A = this chain, B = another copy of it.
């Protein structure tokens, strides 16, 4: 039997490692970045364009898909892969983060969470078991457990409560996962989510409790939710100590290109973030030199290509002046070009990172990348 995760190269100078996630929808080289397709579509892009990035995996959202199109539709069509015509792998976030963002409309009990839909106000009750069931119907290759994700400015007591509930729910999730089967015949793994805010003791406790469940992969939740960046990096460093080396680590909701490089050095294997797609729609493009905003007047008559680094065919075909014009006239083509550029840049960056780890040059490369990359964040 092929193992779920193999590490091909562990870096000598940093905690970075290059590996492969084996799924029934193809292999995924790590460290990897997963484009976000919340509702079963990466904003502005077609499934074919995600294949061509190339990305072997994308992330969708259980909470959003549960509300629209709803699990009845997804069950009828035989899962999300079929619904969106996507042959690669899918990771579905549990929706915990989204539900806990509905501050005024949700209530957490030991049993689960009750909330009102942000769409029509209808009331819903979701339990850890039901979140597994929904993802069985979605048919995601990587399922996530329901967790409690406090906001970045939460206090210690909130962190402790979130941790305890998350552990309790993780046990129920894993039990239910082991008692149920994939509906469509392919393997689905279940990822547990470590909480504990930015407190070392709590993070150690959460990791220790979750490791007893022996999940296939570990997500680091509760970061990139408003805490200072230095605290995020320090917390990931602790997690590198606590987490088992032989399992993939997924840092949820991170981040900028510089964040990716810094967290790969701290042992993270998987990332997802809306930054490349959302910022693209605001005109922000990423390059190896840093960010540029194409709406800036200096691009108005700049007839050089968007990017000359071979990142994206569209970036070489169209000029900065044309893209500037498309943004000024609010043409959807502008959002498409910028989104494709940013996603291709992220994927190119991850491929470079993988190569540099494999050749043993990651530390030098990362230092030179971070020197060159102008990260105003």
Contacts and interface: CB of A to CB of B under 8 A. Distances in A.
User: For the complex formed by this chain, how many copies does it contain in all?
Assistant: 2
Interface residues of A, number: 38
A309 interface: no
B39 A332 contact: no
A331 B41 CA distance: 7
Given A39-B325, A76-B303, A322-B84, A336 B46 contact: yes
A69 B332 contact: no
Interface in A307-331: 314, 317-319, 321-322, 324-326, 328-329, 331
Contacts of A43: 331-333
A301 B71 CA distance: 11
Contacts of A314: 46
Contacts of A322: 40, 83-85
A298 to B, nearest CB: 13
B39 A331 contact: yes
A139 to B, nearest CB: 15
A40 B333 CA distance: 11
B76 A45 contact: no
A314 B48 CA distance: 10
A213 interface: no
A22 interface: no
Contacts of A317: 48, 85
Interface of A: 39-41, 43-46, 48, 68-69, 72-73, 76-77, 83-85, 300-301, 303, 314, 317-319, 321-322, 324-326, 328-329, 331-337
